[in-house]
Amino acid sequence: MAEPKIAQKAPYVMDVEPGKYAWCACGQSQNQPFCDGSHKGTGFKPVVVTIEEPKKVAFCGCKHTKNPPFCDGTHKSL
């Protein structure tokens, strides 16, 4: 599988409400950090995460995290 495109070398930190979120794993989405279907035909699939309560999260922007969909600091070494 090809490497994902780096959308940005920093996390997308945001307040989210309870619900399901589809994080873009390929880096091609125009709606970062969320999936817009741009991965079709690439072998990538979005990572769907369910948030149970309102909170602040840091979604990975570099797409190389070892803890998808959340930032683990990998962007610091890219």
* Rounded percentage of the chain residues whose pLDDT exceeds 90: 97
Burial of 7-43, coded b for 16+ CB within 10 Å and e otherwise, reads beeebbeeeeeeeebbbbbbbbbeebbebeebbeeee
- Average pLDDT for 22-43: 97
Which pLDDT score, from 0 to 100, does residue 2 have? 86
pTM: 0.94
Q: At residue 1, does pLDDT exceed 70?
A: no
| 33 vs 31: CA distance, rounded Å | 6
